[in-house]
Every structure is written in C-alpha cells, then in structure tokens.
Structure 1
Amino acid sequence: MLRITLAQMRRSAGRLTAAGVAIVIGTAFVAATLLASGVITRMTYDSIAAQYGDADLVVGASEDAPLDVDALATTDGVAAVAPVTSTYAQLTDGARSVYQSVVPTADDRLMPLEVTEGGMPAGPDEIALPTDVAERLDVAVGDTVDVGRDVVGDDGSWQQVTETPTVVGLLDDPFGAYSQTGGAAVVDASTYTTWQTEARGEPAPVTEAAVVVADGADLSATRSALAGTIGGATSTDSSPWVVTTDERAAESAAELTDGQDLMFLVFVLTFAAIALVVAGLVIANTFQVLVAQRARTLALLRCVGADKAQVGRGVLVEAGILGLIASVAGVLLGTALGQAALWVAHAMDVPVPLPDTVTLTWQVVVIPVLVGTLVTVGAAVVPARVATRVAPLAALRPAASPSTSRRAGKVRPVLSLLAAVVGFALLGGGAALGTLGQEPTLGLLAGIAGGALSFVGVAVGAVFWLPKVAAAAGRLVGASGPTARLAAANTLRNPRRTATTSTALLIGVTLVAMMSTGAASARVSLTAALDEQFPVDVMVASTSWDADGAPAAIPADLRAELVAVDGVTAAVDVQDSVVAEPGGQRRLTAVDTGDARAVLNSPQRLDGLTEGTALVGSDVAGNLDDGDSLELTGPDGVVSLAVVLSDSASSSTFVTPADLARLDADVPASEVYLALDDDVDAVDAVGAIQDVVADSGESAQVTGIASQRAMFDQVIDTMLGIVLGLLAVAVVIALIGVANTLSLSVLERRRESATLRAIGLSRAQLRGMLAVEGLLIAGVGAVLGVVLGLVYGWAGAAAALGVMGDVTLSVPWRDVVLVLLVALLAGLVASVAPARTALKASPVEALATE
C-alpha cells in the first residue's frame, strides 16, 4: 500500500501543492514565532541588564541595611564590583546649560557606556560626556565645562558649588542603559562618592551592585559566598539578595509586564493557530476532492483484496507524508525569515542588543513539524473515512464526475444554531456590562466566551446557510448573462466544498475586520488614556533655588523664547507651593484655567476648578468629600476653599492663581507647560526646546513627555499593524484555498468544459465563467467576514474598553474596502491558472473516454 500511496501522490503532485503551501506558511509562522520569542526575550533581558555591563551577578539590599562594596570586592571568586547608582548635576559652558545624570567610573566589564573619543576620567578634575550633550554644549575633548552641584552646609542649608573639570572623553550608550535619563556623564568613582556624600551630608547608601566573577571561579560558589558576605539569600524574595544578571532582568521584565512575560508568545501563537486552522480547512477540502476523484481507483484496490482499513490508512499516510514534508519546509522558511529579519535589523543599526544569528532549539524544530503534521493528518481523517465507504462494485460503474456531496446529520445544524444563539447573547451581555461600566471583568469574560462560542456556531453551521447566500449572490450575478449563470450554478454543484472554501476565507476576513474595527474604536479610548497619563507635552521646570529654598521663577525672556520654538502652540505658567492644612501640609498647583485648557491634552482635567474651589485629586483626597470646606494656611493668610473631587487630577490639588495669591503672594511661576502641534515631530521639538534652555544659561530641566507619548503611540500603532499582519497570513492561506478549489473544480469538470467548448463556448467565455466563480466564492466569504468582523469588533471594544470611559464605535472604512478589494482581486487571480488548465486540452481530447 505504501508504494501505491506514493504513486498516487506523484500523480496528484500538482493537486497537493496548494495544500502543501498552506501548511508551509502555517508552520513557518509557528517556527518564526518561536524564534522571535527567543530573540525578543534575549533582547529584553539584555536591554534591561545593559546597566550592569557584562556583570555575572547582581547584589541588592534595602536603604535601611545597605551594601558594603568593599566587603563584596574581597569575597572569594569576585573579580570586580561596581555600585549601580546615579545622580544629577548642572553642566554649563558659556550661555549653554544642561541638567544631566552622572555615574561613576567602573571596571571596563561593568561600564555599559562606550568611549567614542578620548578616554574615561581618572581624577577629580576630569569628566566624560555623552556625545549629544557635548554637541549641545558645544564642547570637545580638552575643553572645560562647569559642573554645578548641590551641597549641604554645616547648618543644614543648601548651596550650589561649581567644579570645572576637563572633558577627557565622549561617550555612546549603545544599548540604551541610560536612555530614560538621556544618557549619562561619567566622573571618577572617588569623586562621585565625594559628591554624593556632600549632597546628602552623609555617605550615600548602596542598594544595588554589579559583580564580575573571576576567571576560573565557579559562579554558583561565588554566588553562595556573596550571600554569606551580605547575610542574604540567592533570590529576591527577601533582602539582601544575590541573583544572576539574567534572573534580575527576568524579574524586572516581569515587573514591567505585570508578570505577563509569556503573553507575547501566547498572543502571537494564537494567530499561528488560526493560520493552521484555516490551512486545515484547505487540506480537508483538497483531500475530499482527491478521494472523490479516486473513487474508481479505490474501488479497484478493494476488488484486488485491499480492506477498508488499508484504504483509510493509505489516505492518512499520504496526509502524513505531505504534512511532514511541508512542515520541514515551513521550518526552513521560518528560520530563513528570522535570520533575514536579524540581518535587516543589523543593517538598520537598531539601538538594541541583537544576536547575529537565530538560535535553533529543539522546540523551534520539533513543535512546528509535529503540529503541521498533526493538522494535516487530522484534516484528512474525514476524507479517509469517506474513502473506506467506497464499494468494490464502484469500479464496474461507468466513469462519472466525482462528487463529494453527502448529507449532513440532523445534530450538527441544531448544535451550530444553539451555539450561535447562545454565543451572540453572551456577546451582547458582555458589551452591555462593559458599556454600563458594571462588572467589567465579568463583561470581558462574557464577551470572550460569547465571541468564541458564536464564531464556532457560525463556522460549523456555514455548510447549511452559506450555500444559500452564495445562491442569492449567484442569482444577482447571473442576471449579467449566460456565462455568469453557469458560474453561479457551478458554485452550487458542490455546496459543501464551496462552503468549506468560503468558510476558510470568512474566518480570516472576520478576524482582520474584527481587529481593524476594534482598533479603530479603541483608538479614541487609548488616546483619552494617554491624555490622562501624559497631561502636557513638555514641562520646563526651574532647578535653581531662591534664598528661602523655594524654586526660582522661569525668566520672562526664556519663556518668550520657549513659546517661539517651532511647533509650540501654547504655554501656561505653573506655580507650586506647600501650605498648611489641619493635621499636615498640602502641595498646591496653581494654573490659569483658560490658558491651561489650551495646553492640557485632557482639558476636562480642570473641570470644576473656579475661584473659591480646590480641585483635589482622588489620590490625595484623604477623608475629603465633594462640597467639604478645605481650610488652608499660608504666609499671607488663611483661605477656605470648597472641595471638588476629581479622578483626573489624581495626585494633585489645583487652585486658581488668585486663591494661591491670597495664601502666598510671592510664589513664583517655577514651571512652564508647553503644547506642541499635532503634526510636529515630538522628538525634534523637544530637542529644540532643550537647545533653547541650554543656550539661555538658566538652570532648568526639560521633561519631554511628548516624545514618551509619541513612543507609546508608535508602539500601539505597531502592535495593531503586527496583529493585522499576522491575521493576513490566515487570509493568504484561505485565498490559496480558493485557487485550490477552482483548480480541483476544473479537473473534475474537464468533460463538461469540453462539452461547453464543443457547443460554442469561446475561450474568453470559459475564462470569464471561472473568473466569476472565483469572485463569487471569495466575495461571499469576504463580505460575510466583514459583517461579522464589524459585529465582533464593536462588541469586543464595548466589553473591553467600556470601563475606560465612553467608547466610540467606528467603522475603519479604509481597511474594510481594502480587505474586500484584496479578496475579490485574489479570487480573480486564482481563476487564471485553472482557466489555463481548462483550455489546454482540445474539446475532442477532453471528450474522449478516459
């Protein structure tokens, strides 16, 4: 039987190609996902661990019981130790000034910064600067720069002293170890310790240190020795602790993702599973037709002694061989794509640590091959059962057009209808709960369960209702002429196969439309959330102090220059003051409500703020409630303000400038909030603002929140684009199924096509008939998929995002039209190869007895 199976595969090689391509794409997707997960995990760990340099271990403790760096350095097996710490200083050259983070020198293996010119500082009168900071200050190696730092006097008062070290090196931060602080300047370690001690009035506690293990020393033994030195554990469950760099990076990554480290892998593998499900439908359709076309061959095998089990096993063996070969090819393709992606990333000089080559693990090879083979064999189970039902007498019957139609049972339509009805009811209930803001978790779970259940009901029951939809569409198309009527009739000759093919496309298009609709609806809610998290685009705050220790005012000429920067559309002055209240103190922020509304990304943040009121954020409200009287005491008087509680204000208490003046008339405007034009590049605009501050010579810090927000916007857009791209793979596989269906349909209607040619159907009309057939199959699946996608997208957005506020349901018309056009165009293109096959043989040859 194996030889017979291989012979049949050779004869049907062309027919199996499309099914094989579907599996190749699906398994390549799985392999690429597993490879990407490994690369992303490694990249994430390396990015987080960049601040530790090439450290082998990380030691941590609390401020109450800090680390003794000298004791760590003398521990057996330790080659080098460096505290993980940083401070800030004001760097000035002439009229230009920059507020910059500063770190101490360390062993080369523990220093994440690279010297691009000059060298590292070796004494108290030397400093190394980030390249961009040196450019902003217009200094080079050999120049001097003024470093202003805070010092605590003997009487506890603050004063600023100025050092004038020489710039001895320029630095690059290749892996973004200090990206959050805009890079870092470096000073000698002993000098750094002196600065820290003078700034605090006492030695600064070391709460984290990076350790390099000596060559030849055992990592585990050194780790245990360090734990003994600090009297701690080899995990962060208690303090102090000693962990490996990877363990520390993994913990930090888990904190950033709220413990959902594997969500990315599960998220992407979900779409790989969808692609394989669609591929399974294509394969099942292919084998159904192959079994029908081989009915006489199978019957002859039964006549010469093959039993039912042998015939069924032959079909499954054929599927297994196809699945194995296609899956191996898919792994090779996925690996090639992963390696190509790394080459492209390196060519683009991506500023993250990336490996040079992909790492092939057994999971990357075995899992895709196993899954692809099982999906192929599983898809062939039903056709194999059909093959066992072929009677030996079928070999003696006249040759006839193969047919895969068979009656469906009575249980399937009832179960599919029940699943669809219950599922849509749950989906509607979840959307309602989400919209009303009640039980959001329950609403989300109900929405997910309802969506999954209803979709299964729709897909399983498609064989009953989808042909009727195709028939209705066929009647509309058939009005254009006899060729179109023939095409419409052809789609209904085998309704089960047409339904299976259209269902495959319907699944892919539904998911694409659902994500597009959900993304469009979510955009409003996500934008509102970002507006709350990033209330203003840019903040410029004074870092100099007046005689009373309060922040100094932003000079009027600097404010004017800031407003004149290209891209800045509005500005508002901000006053901060600490006043007394019963039982403690309260920090007040005063802004002009009219000017602030033009600057804030979320103007409703100040709703309720008028003269005589205090807008109190929920985080600092304490026992206060709406309408309560808040009595505040300042240097110039006592003021009683009516409390207005606000969730938007969060941890702030806003008052009007007039009310603050009654409490303290001399509070300067120490901050300026700036708004940027929506069309301006946030990074460039923030850089221009930093240049203005640097040129002014004033001591001020620029916080470019707009660039951070732009990064989040880009991440959201990228993630949505990735999702749509992943789902598009399922659509591509489904379109392969359309081409496969047409090809097999042409083969089984070979004699019929010849008859039509013999009675006068022209070549162009035959091509047109197949084109209309392809358009019908693809169009029905695509249109129904778009409709279902809109429903699921709206309901999902309401269930998932209702808790965030009002959800605006929108239709992504561009994406909808694009999906429809692609599906129709692909259906048209899919008819080209089958049409060429149908036209190859002359009508006389095709009518000859086979």
Structure 2
Amino acid sequence: MFRTALRNVLAHKARLLMTVLAVMLGVAFVSGTLVFTNTLSNALQNSSAKGFDQVDVAVLPGVGDDAGDTTGQPPQLTQALLDESAKVPGAASVIGVVSGFTAIADKDGNLVGDGFQSQGGNYWSDKDARYPLSDGAAPKGAGQVALDAKTAERAGYQVGDTVRLSVDGPVLSPTLSGIFTTDDGNVTAGGSLALFDTATAQRLYGKVGAYDEIDVKAAAGTSQAALKAALDKALPRNAVETTTATKLADDQARNIASEMSGLKQGLLVFAGIALFVGTFIIANTFTMLVAQRTKELALMRAVGASRRQVTRSVLIEAFVVGAVAAVTGLIAGIGIGAGLKALLGTLGATVPDGPLVVTPGTVGAALAVGILITMLAAWLPGRRAAKIPPVAAMSSVHATATTKSLVLRNTLGALFSGAGIAVVLAATSMSGSDGQAPMGIGAVLLIIGVFILTPLLSRPLIAAAGPFMRVFGVSGKLARQNSVRNPRRTAATASALMIGLTLITGMTVMAGSLQQAIDKMASASIRADYIVSMANGNGLSPDVAEKLAKTPGVTAVSPLTDAAVLIDDTSEWITGVTGGAIGELTSLTVDDGTFKVGGSQVVVDDRTAKSRGWKADSTFTVIYDDGQKQRLTVAGVYEGNEVVSGIMLDNTQLAPHRTDAADHTDMQVMVKTSDGATSATKDKLAKALGANPAIKIQDKKDISNEIAQMFTLMLNMLYGLLAMAVLVAVLGVVNTLAMSVFERSQEIGMLRAIGLDRKGIKRMVRLESLVISLFGGVLGIGLGVFFGWAAGELVGTSMPTYELVLPWARMALFLLLAATVGILAALWPARRAARMNMLAAIQSE
C-alpha cells in the first residue's frame, strides 16, 4: 500500500502540482504572516532594548542621604564616585554614562527618526568600545558631535558637515566629527543617537560633573556577583544602588514584554487568521481531491484492500504532499514576509529597521500546517471514501452529500452564526475594554457560522446574478448553473476571499469612523490654530510661549502647564492656563455654570466632576507641591474629550507653588493667529522659535492624525496582509477551477461536441470564476460592515463624537478587487478547458 500510494502521487503529476500548490499557499500565508509580525515586533522591541556588552555591574543613583543631600532629591553620581568605583578590586574599567533627548534635523530641517526615540549621550574616550568609529574622529569640545551611521545616512550628513540639533533648548550647529556604528536597539529600530564629549554632554543635559549611570566592567576571573559585592562595600550605602547586568537584562526583557503585550496580541490575531485560512484551503482541496478519486479508491477496495489500508494510503499521500509543500511554502512565506515589510513602507507607515526574523516557532508552524493539517484534512474525506461500498462508488465519479449531512451542516452553521451575532450584540452594550473579549469571541463564532453556511448562502446570492449572466447567452447560463451545482466547492473557493475582505472592510470602516470622530472632536473643542509641543513629549521652556506671544500676527497664546496636586488626600492632575485667553482658544460645551478661569475659579471636565460629585459653585481644597493650600471654586463643568480634559486653573495661581525650577515647563502652548492655519503662518512661527527640530508645531489636522497614528499603522499593516490574502485567493481560485475543469472533462467535451466553441468555453469558466469571487466579496464586505459597526458601538461609549462612516468608494474598490481576482484566476483554467481535445475528454474517466 505504501508503494501504491507513492506511485499514485507521482502518476498524476498535474493533480500533484495543484495539490502541492494549494497546501503551499496555506503554509506561505501562515509563515509569511508570522515572519512579518515577528520582524515588526522584534524591531519595535529593539527600540527599547539596551545592550549590556560593556557592563557587568551598573551603579545607579540611590534614594538615601548618605552623600549629604538634604534636599530630598536623589544623590548624584559624581566624578568622585566614578573614581572610587574604578579602584574597587575586580573592576577592569568604568564608564560614566550621560544621556538625554537630542533632536536632529536633516538637511531639509525635518526631524530624523520621527516616530522613534531621538537620543543623545557622551562618547567616553577616543576608543569607546560601545561605539566603534567607522569614519572620522571622536567629538571634542562644544563644537563637535558624532552621529550613528544610520542617522547620518538618512539625514545626508558626512564628516565635516554642520549638523542642526537641539537638546531641550536652542538650536545648536556643531560639526560632525565622526560616524560610529552601534547595536543600540533604538537606533536599529529607526531612532537616532548623537554623542558629545563627556563635559559637553554633562553641560547640555544639565548634569555638570555628574552621570546618569556608572557602568563597571569586571576583570577576568571576577563574577558579576563578586564585583557587585565589592562595589556595595566600597560605595556609600543608600547614595548608590548597584545592579548586575544579568538582572538589568532580565528586568528590561520583562518591561519590554509588558509594553509589547498589546501589540503582540494584535499580531497574533493576524497569525491566527492566517492559520485559519490556510487550514481550510488545505482541507477543502483534499476533500475535492479525494472526491475525484472515489472510483480509484473503490477499485482498491474491490481488489482486497481494507478500509484502514485505503485511509492509510490517502494519509501517506498527504504526508508526502504536505512535506514538500511545507518546505516550499516556508521559503515562499519568508519572501512574502520581507515583501510585506517593504510594502508597508510604501503605504506611508513608519516602519522600523531590523533584520528579517524567522523563529523556530515559524518553522514549526509551517511544518504543522503543511504536514499535520494536510494529513488531518485528508483523513476525514479518506475515511469517508473508504466507507462507501465499492460497487456504489464505481458507479459515479463522486458521491453526493446526503440529506442528513446537509441538514447537520446547515444546523451547525445556523447555531454558530446565531450565537456569534448574539455575543457581538451583547458586547456592544458593554463599556470599553470589558466588551473587547466577548466581541472577539462573537466575531470568531459568526465567521465560522457563515463559513459553514456558505454552501447554503451561495444559491440565493449567485441566483441574484442571473439577469447579468443572461447577457452572455449560453455561456452565462452554464456558468451560473456550474457555480451552484457544487455548493461546497463554490464555498471553498469563495471563503478565502471572504475572510480577507471581512477583516479589511471592518478595519477600514473603523478607521474612517474614528478619524472623522477625532477630526470632529479637534475642530469642535479647539479654536486655536496651532498647538506647540516638544517632539519627545517633554516640557517646553516658558520662553517658547513668550516668543510666540511677541510674534507678529499672533492674537492669543496660552501655555498649558500640568502639575500634580492633592485633593481630598488623593492625587489629581491640574492644568495651568492663561485665564484671559483660554476661552478664545477653546470651544467647549459647558454643561453647568460658565466657562470662566481666573483667580480661584476653575473649570472641570464632566468625568472628573462626576467622579468627585462636583457641580457649578462647588468648592474644594488643593494642596500644592510646596505644601500650601488653596480653596478653589468650580465656575463651570464642560464636556471633556481626548483632546481637552481635566481641571483648568489660571497660571498666575499655579506658578508661585512650583518649587522646582526644572519642573517649571509647559506641556503645550496654544496659539491663535490673525491669518489662521496656513503654511506661511506655520513657517513664521517656526522661524520665531529658531526652526528648532525638537519643537512640533501642529494644526488641528496634525493633532487628529497623531492621535489616530497607531490605528493608521494597524490599518496599513492590514493592507499589506490584504495583498498577501489576495495572492492566496487568486491562486486558490486557480487551483479550484483547475480541479473543477479536470473533474468536468467529459462535460466540457460534450459541450464542444454539440457546438459550443472555444470562446464560449473560456467565457463560461471566466464567468463562473467571476461570480464565485464576487460572491465571496459580497459576503466579506457585508460581514466587515457589521463588525465595523459593532466595534464602533463599543468605541462610541467613550467617544461621544463617534458615528458610523461607510467608506463607499473603498468598498466599491474592494468589490472591484474581488472581480479582478476572479478574472485573473480564470485565465489559465479557461485556456486549459478550451484547448481540450473533445473526443479524448468524452472518453476520460
């Protein structure tokens, strides 16, 4: 039986190729998605990663006062502590580390590494092992800087050029002294790194004579634990804290894993969808394949093979096919993953740099899908074929489904669909994150239910295309009848496209609706033409608001200063604003009282007021940083949103209580101008601030785009995955049509014999493919709109401006895409059908 199975595999080379292709598609879809998502996830993780090659023990600032500090601030890591660390037994070398935000502009004045961290630090010595120079020399003095090679390449800088940069202050123009290489994860992921000499870095980052960290390298033969113990003994207790590199690496891995958990869950959803699509493509292919071989398997039974032997022979064939397809599919998937990454960049998404990641899990998944799922997919139809009595099987090409099996299938489909709809509708009435898990479960149940019901749904939906098909005469009529004659085959062909379009339509509906809600929120709540802030989210110097107020054409300015206060023994954030201007810069709906900020009067957003039981004329006491108390009165309660919220207090009341000058910064500055938001006005404001790359000047559209940036990135990722799903759908339809043509060889030969010409045969196959693809497209778009609506209902509980927006143009494009898939997929099968020898086809078995 083993030899018979192998001979069967090799005897039908065309059938073998089509089956291998179908399995390979499933494997490629799964492995390509895993390669792509792992690559993206790894690059984003690297952006937070820090290497520990040059450190065995890190010395960090402590929390005590052994160093004589009585201000309550953490002790500094001074030069004396660094020198003391270098003398500790077992210490081979020490490095004092200084770091901070550094924005670098390219030659066009744009921020390099936008979307990732822009960092700076100190180059320790002429031969700093952390940053080997690839060109030029180490930076020396305030007029020189070194850049990492990737940043220099992106910005177009070479050694000797003048570099524009900013370190939380005015624009600097040092000379590029050298270019270095680094395995710093932030740089690898697309960030930037600028290095100064140690004295310059300490001055620029406000740490003169001090360090953020002291890295100690152990001498040969000294363990990290022994070095840590020696440092603990030599350095002042509580003034410093020592940690081994191993623990730092473990803590970092744990923190990164925590930060990445949400993104990983989203990426795993894509991988799960890929696995689902790949699995049913393989299962349906083998179902059709075994159905075509029913007579052959029955003959084996007739000459003495047992049911178990017949089933085993099918499984052996499945193993051979799966093994070959798994390897080729994995290779194709790696290429697809690389192509998706490149495609994502062309769609306008900020794509992190990083190597292509092929994990053992990806290889295992490819082999599991290719071999295990192929064998599992072949087992059920093989077992079913083995149960058919030989005489009955040899009387027909394939056994038709029994009424009992159809009733069971439709009942299961109805139960799954009903349960899915019920769970999704129940989730829409929940709030926020509480409804996410139920909605996901409901969506999976509904998709499975629709997939099971697809053969039943195919008849009425394809029948609706009857008037269109009549235009093409006999070919159109035959194509429509062929489409519904074998509903299971039609469902198998349409389902891959259905799932891809369900996903992308749902996300497109969500993205469009969210973008409009955010735009409406920004335009409805902000009258200011521009919001000015730091690119890294840090505070702005008070000088920024003063410079903007003096700029010609500026009519109103209000800095927004956040401060932590105590209210009823609980912490609360309060925002300092310019009371006389904030009403002119915002347009907020007031639910209670009046919008008035000045003196002891404040305005509060509705959520805060509700949680604390406040209303207009309510009073409460705040305790500031300096311990002083003040009694404030709620002048009004306004409707807060994602753009404007919180307690607003006049800056004249807040400023005297800011004890730390370093904290006396503004998070944002609102600006209104006489000319409105124009490119000329924006350039004028940028010029007034010294064209500083560290400062962002955004209009309302920029703000809404930034809020929606993560969702836009996910949507662009989906468009990349859609490209792969379309490829899978095209080849899947090709495969199914080719098998259908092979199965109907006698029928096609008879049609040719009674007068249907080759053009008519081609037209019949193409129209059949077109109708099936459009059927999958209509189902996918319909499900996508339903899921988009349901998810929007969930989001709408926390976003009052949210309302459903149907992207009619894109949905029409998706339907056109489905039609294109059908037309392209039918080219080869139609040509093959038309070129058949009619007499040979009539005689075929």
TM-score (norm 2): 0.74
CA distance in 1, matches of 2:446, 2:345: 45
| 2:731 corresponding residue in structure 1 | 736
Any idea what the Cα deviations from partners look like across 1:264-289, whole Å, max 9, x if unmatched? Answer: 44433432332333333333333233
Q: SS at the partner of 1:734?
A: helix
| 1:280 corresponding residue in structure 2 | 279
Asked if structure 1 preserves the Cα contact closer than 8 Å seen for 2:412 and 2:449, the reply is: yes
Any idea what the Cα deviations from partners look like across 1:582-611, whole Å, max 9, x if unmatched? Answer: 9999874215558843xx6x8669995237
Q: SS at the partner of 1:761?
A: coil
Bigger radius of gyration among the two: 1
Q: Mapping of 1:401-420 within 5 angstroms?
A: 401-409=397-405, 410-420=407-417
CA distance in 1, matches of 2:191, 2:717: 29
Change (3 A) 1:812 1:465: same
**Range with greater deviation from structure 2 (372-381 or 336-345):** 336-345
What is the Cα deviation at residue 685 of structure 1? 9.5
| 2:139 corresponding residue in structure 1 | 120
CA distance in 2, matches of 1:392, 1:577: 82
What is the Cα deviation at residue 312 of structure 1? 1.0
What is the Cα deviation at residue 229 of structure 1? 2.4
| 2:603 corresponding residue in structure 1 | 615
| 2:802 corresponding residue in structure 1 | 807
Structure 1 unaligned spans of 5+: 92-97, 151-161, 233-237, 434-438, 542-549, 564-569, 662-667
**Aligned: 1:589 with 2:577:** yes
**Aligned: 1:626 with 2:615:** yes
**Range with greater deviation from structure 2 (279-288 or 323-332):** 279-288
| 1:31 corresponding residue in structure 2 | 31
Change (3 A) 1:19 1:534: farther
CA distance in 2, matches of 1:764, 1:184: 67
Amino acid in the other structure paired with 2:387: R
Change (3 A) 1:57 1:710: farther
Amino acid in the other structure paired with 2:614: D
| 1:516 corresponding residue in structure 2 | 508
| 2:689 corresponding residue in structure 1 | 693
CA distance in 2, matches of 1:750, 1:552: 82
| 2:365 corresponding residue in structure 1 | 367
Change (3 A) 1:805 1:710: closer
| 2:245 corresponding residue in structure 1 | 243
CA distance in 2, matches of 1:819, 1:88: 44
Amino acid in the other structure paired with 2:375: V
Q: SS at the partner of 2:803?
A: coil
| 2:107 corresponding residue in structure 1 | none
Asked if structure 1 preserves the Cα contact closer than 8 Å seen for 2:283 and 2:378, the reply is: yes
| 1:795 corresponding residue in structure 2 | 790
Change (3 A) 1:826 1:669: closer
Asked if structure 2 preserves the Cα contact closer than 8 Å seen for 1:24 and 1:327, the reply is: yes
CA distance in 2, matches of 1:734, 1:470: 19
Asked if structure 2 preserves the Cα contact closer than 8 Å seen for 1:298 and 1:311, the reply is: yes
Change (3 A) 1:466 1:642: same
Change (3 A) 1:839 1:171: closer
What is the Cα deviation at residue 645 of structure 1? 4.2
| 2:5 corresponding residue in structure 1 | 5
Change (3 A) 1:586 1:520: closer
**Range with greater deviation from structure 2 (179-188 or 311-320):** 179-188
Amino acid in the other structure paired with 2:377: A
CA distance in 1, matches of 2:341, 2:457: 47
Amino acid in the other structure paired with 2:95: A
Asked if structure 1 preserves the Cα contact closer than 8 Å seen for 2:530 and 2:670, the reply is: yes
What is the Cα deviation at residue 346 of structure 1? 13
| 1:80 corresponding residue in structure 2 | 93
Any idea what the Cα deviations from partners look like across 1:20-65, whole Å, max 9, x if unmatched? Answer: 3343233234434544555445544543345979546544454436
Amino acid in the other structure paired with 1:461: L
Asked if structure 1 preserves the Cα contact closer than 8 Å seen for 2:619 and 2:633, the reply is: yes
Find the partner of 1:463 among 449, 455, 459: 455
CA distance in 1, matches of 2:411, 2:173: 83
Amino acid in the other structure paired with 1:811: L
Q: SS at the partner of 2:689?
A: helix
CA distance in 2, matches of 1:396, 1:650: 76
Structure 2 unaligned spans of 5+: 65-73, 105-110, 112-117, 235-239, 535-540, 623-629, 656-663
| 1:764 corresponding residue in structure 2 | 759
| 1:386 corresponding residue in structure 2 | 384
Change (3 A) 1:269 1:321: farther
Change (3 A) 1:188 1:483: closer
CA distance in 1, matches of 2:295, 2:548: 94
CA RMSD of aligned residues (A): 5.6
**Range with greater deviation from structure 2 (516-525 or 182-191):** 182-191
What is the Cα deviation at residue 722 of structure 1? 0.8
| 1:665 corresponding residue in structure 2 | none
Change (3 A) 1:750 1:793: same
What is the Cα deviation at residue 795 of structure 1? 0.6
**Range with greater deviation from structure 2 (10-19 or 532-541):** 532-541
Q: SS at the partner of 2:260?
A: coil
What is the Cα deviation at residue 790 of structure 1? 0.6
Asked if structure 1 preserves the Cα contact closer than 8 Å seen for 2:124 and 2:197, the reply is: no
Any idea what the Cα deviations from partners look like across 1:703-722, whole Å, max 9, x if unmatched? Answer: 55678986665543232111
CA distance in 2, matches of 1:470, 1:510: 19
Any idea what the Cα deviations from partners look like across 1:440-476, whole Å, max 9, x if unmatched? Answer: 3433333223222222222223333333433343466
| 2:658 corresponding residue in structure 1 | none
| 1:95 corresponding residue in structure 2 | none
**Aligned: 1:69 with 2:82:** yes
| 1:720 corresponding residue in structure 2 | 715
Amino acid in the other structure paired with 2:140: P
CA distance in 1, matches of 2:428, 2:346: 46
Asked if structure 1 preserves the Cα contact closer than 8 Å seen for 2:139 and 2:146, the reply is: no
TM-score (norm 1): 0.74
Asked if structure 1 preserves the Cα contact closer than 8 Å seen for 2:41 and 2:264, the reply is: no
What is the Cα deviation at residue 849 of structure 1? 6.2
Any idea what the Cα deviations from partners look like across 1:317-372, whole Å, max 9, x if unmatched? Answer: 21221111111112222334556789999999x999956x6565543433321232
**Aligned: 1:560 with 2:570:** no
CA distance in 2, matches of 1:13, 1:678: 70
**Aligned: 1:424 with 2:409:** no
Q: How many residues align?
A: 769
What is the Cα deviation at residue 809 of structure 1? 0.8
Q: SS at the partner of 1:501?
A: helix
| 2:48 corresponding residue in structure 1 | 48
